[in-house]
Amino acid sequence: MRKLLLHHTPKQHFTEEQRMILESLWNVNVNKGRDTRLSIHAFAREHGFPHTTMLRELKRGMEGEILFDKRKRQWFYPEYSAAKAQADADDRNAQKGTGMVFTNVLAEAFRHHILDLKKSPAHARHDIVAEGYAKVPCVSSVYNHIEHGDIGILRGQTPYRPSAKRKRKRPVRRSRKCAANLSIEDRPQAANDRAEFGHWEMDTVVSCVGGRGGLLVLTERKTRFELIVRLKRLTAKAVRNALRGLIRSGAFKAVRSITTDNGCEFLDSEALARLFRDINDTLKIYYTHAYAAWEKGSVENANRHIRRFHPKGTDFSRVPPADILRTQHFINSIPRNRSLKGQTAHEVFNAAA
């Protein structure tokens, strides 16, 4: 019987054609005798609708008021006019403000890219546009709708929102610095300005407490291209072996300098420089100041991307190399609107070689 009335979808309004069908069915019902006439509850139940939905729609188009005769102890229902109900609906629609820029299809696409694929809103929008969706809102609109919770994504579910850092309960331990090593203050201006291809930053990402090894991460400053290698141990020898493997594979297309921190695995600058003598025998290794991670911000930003897929508490000795490679490919495939004018690090790196 419901199919005869209309195919109703939850959260969807009645159309004019559906109201015409409802008019004919309801008016036949109210003109029946007392014993055969259905109440609104029974009429809604017979056609498979909630009572509140049917009552709301009938009141919108009734020609009079619903009356109760106490003497006869029965309800009297007026006839329903589809034209009146449609006029009321059109009047309500005319009073609505500007429609939401997000459709249900777009909202679902953004939820898939941000929540399932762990992309930033800007990265998600770039890929959704590439997939051929029409009328995709700008990035600021996406963030505004996330801020107001309109598209099913909460503010804390987007990337780049680490938890608040707890204050240290013990004094900071000062690291030792090798006097023979070059400081970041000695780095050439071309490397500081990202004007020259081939200047890299290097860092490690450690495993959880009780875990083994970690990751060696290198970032080319101009193109933001990432190289990630899994380390069995966080030692100077393991770092040199990983770099030697990258050199043999041809991953480095140009190396003019490397900027790193004062970790014990990086302190032997002469041994590190000797690895690159076939590529650049004048390579210099520069070291940041103690507790100044912002001085090698490119590689630190890459570490933040890595933590999306391998959060703190990960034992990298248990992570397959294929997962590390997928993480590297994901980072190099992020469109960077400001630093690379919308291009990905992979595209710019290949063009700069």
Residues 226 and 218: beta-carbon distance below 8 Å: yes
CA distance 287 to 154: 40
Q: Count the Cβ atoms, other than its own, within 10 Å of residue 61.
A: 23
| Rounded Cα distance, 281 and 255, in Å | 10
User: What is the per-residue pLDDT for 2?
Assistant: 45
Nearest to 345 by CA among 76, 159, 123: 123
Closest CA to 203 of 134, 68, 132, 294: 294
What's the distance, Cα to Cα, between the start and end of the chain in Å? 70
- Tokens 């997962």 belong to 323
For the four alpha carbons of 274, 275, 277 and 280, in that order, the dihedral sign comes to negative
Q: Are strands 284-287 and 257-260 parallel, antiparallel or unpaired?
A: parallel
CA pair distance 27, 288, nearest whole angstrom = 84
pLDDT the model gives residue 193: 94
At 78 the pLDDT is 87
Owner of token pair 């190099």: 332
Q: What is the pLDDT of residue 236?
A: 94
In tens, the pLDDT along 3-20 reads: 445 445 555 678 888 889
As given in the structure block, the two tokens for residue 140 are: 């600021």
d(CA 257, CA 275): 13
The pLDDT score that the predictor gives to residue 163 is: 55
Low-confidence ranges of the chain (pLDDT < 70): 1-12, 98-99, 160-179, 353
DSSP 136: P
Predicted local distance difference test score (pLDDT) of residue 1: 39
3-state secondary structure of 192: helix
Q: Is 227 helix (H, G, I), strand (E, B) or coil?
A: strand
Which residue type sits at 80? Answer: Y
Distance CA 105, CA 215 (A): 39
In this prediction, residue 179 carries a pLDDT of 65
Give φ, ψ of 11 to 5 degrees: 70, 15
- Please, what's the b/e burial string for 288-318 (b: 16 or more CB within 10 A of its CB; e: otherwise)? beeeeeebbebbbbbbebbeeebeeebebee
Instruction: Compute and round to an integer the Cα radius of gyration of the chain.
Output: 33
pLDDT at site 3? 47
pLDDT score for 305: 92
Mode of pairing for the β-strands spanning 199-206 and 214-220:
antiparallel
- pLDDT given at position 37: 85
